[in-house]
Structure 1
């Protein structure tokens, strides 16, 4: 029986799936299984998966559904004591599983290990940028209520018994299902961090305004659910959580907009964040967003002239 089960949901992932699988095969920790959920792909994803020769890999095909449902289907096929999740367009550094397993074995009270992230700007592998390091360990419940510092769905290694204690991903969520899952885990289990950039996260250049709107809607729904379950002494954090969501939306509009409509949406979201939590004006990130907003607005105005 393998120690670690790796769950990979894949939907129309023909451009990236082979490299993603390869990053698992190159892990320095070898006692693992690879569970791929073909989530109703209509491109060459399944054919490419069938071309991979690896006895540790199993592929299960289902009709297309939400990513949360695909991950839960993957969990149902796993047998490992520890479970990791990897999106079909992300990659891992070769020692990711070994180091995360090591810190979990050193801290028997912890249920989840996470690492620092890189991300590819616009999905290009020649533009690799590190996320700002975070060092939250132990009881990280309040930190996760305020923001998703784990950053994406390809990061954590989690004990099976931790998942069994809180349940899987919320199948009703169309976005932010990983953050919602992490909050429920943090309410019951301690987290440990590997202080190293080990997750390579692709951010698509094709993100549309409608996608940002979807993320905002689902994130707001998540916050309502999370604070309904949160103890009374943490309710004061809700405005800060909402502000973080609007800061994130500001960033996405600035990143993917080249017209006044998108820039105005970014301005509106940033103003909402400031009104909810004025202290963000003292943070480096908010100041960067303000400068970015002004720069893009001036650029568009000059182009119009």
Structure 2
């Protein structure tokens, strides 16, 4: 049995998959690993290219083919079903790990064991680089201190991205399944479910960026994003309300700003302004903070 299963959803982007696989090949961690790729109904030509990419890789790769496009949450559930290694990590096709990522995260897990902590209640996340199309890479720190549930709802200091994680298979079972209603933001819902189930995120002592997220909003539906936020808020309403009405409005204001960003980047300027106006109406102070933050980041 392999020690680590690396789980990758893929759809119609063999060149992006090749980039991700290369970053796995370059890991300094020398343990036994298997890569599981679930192809989510790619077009025939692209699937053939994907098969060729896998054949050319030196990695131990299992390719699972879906006959039709099922969407990201169902694909991720198929990956969970296929995994059987004691440890799991995730990577989206097109994003990359830096060479020390897995070794640094296993070192963190070993530290937890030495302290007597239950590793099955922990996920190891990490700092990462955020690379917008046409811009330079920007380091983003994952801050695991404080109330993690509260921080996840806002997403300013602690962000929900699967490709930052390493953990035991049992720890991922704690978060259960991906919500198949969520075409977007399944990561956020999954992280919230994990923390609500008693899970805790920790970061390695290596504070460097350990992976890179290549980001583009082009073609992604702003209304769909905002609708998925509503689904998450309704699903976790009891937990959200524990932080009070002011915080609830702040979380909703953040959601409006995210939707506004998607709309703007897809040239839907009227819709972008409508979301931004609603964000100011919900929580003027937080909305002003977000506006200043976006101006400082360019």
- TM-score tier, shorter chain, comes to 0.7 to 0.9
Q: 1:53 to 1:135 in 2, by over 3 A?
A: closer
Shift of 1:20: 0.8
Structure 2 gaps, min length 5: none
Q: Is the 8 A contact 1:16 1:89 kept in 2?
A: yes
Q: Is the 8 A contact 1:69 1:169 kept in 2?
A: yes
Question: Of residues 228, 253, 256 in structure 2, which corresponds to 1:246?
Answer: 256
1:75 aligns to 2:97 (yes or no): no
Aligned twin of 1:301: none
1:273 aligns to 2:279 (yes or no): yes
Aligned twin of 1:26: 26
Aligned twin of 2:167: 158
1:118 aligns to 2:129 (yes or no): yes
Structure 1 gaps, min length 5: 296-305
CA distance in 2, matches of 1:291, 1:4: 40
1:199 aligns to 2:204 (yes or no): no
Aligned twin of 1:105: 110
CA distance in 2, matches of 1:12, 1:47: 12
Aligned twin of 1:298: none
- 1:52-63 alignment runs, 5 A limit: 52-54=56-58, 56-63=60-67
Q: Is the 8 A contact 1:251 1:289 kept in 2?
A: no
CA distance in 2, matches of 1:17, 1:250: 29
RMSD: 2.5
Residue 125 of structure 2 aligns to a residue whose secondary structure is strand
Q: 1:243 to 1:281 in 2, by over 3 A?
A: closer
Aligned twin of 1:44: 46
TM-score between both structures, scaled by the size of structure 1:
0.83
CA distance in 2, matches of 1:204, 1:167: 29
Q: Is the 8 A contact 2:34 2:61 kept in 1?
A: yes
Q: 1:217 to 1:154 in 2, by over 3 A?
A: same
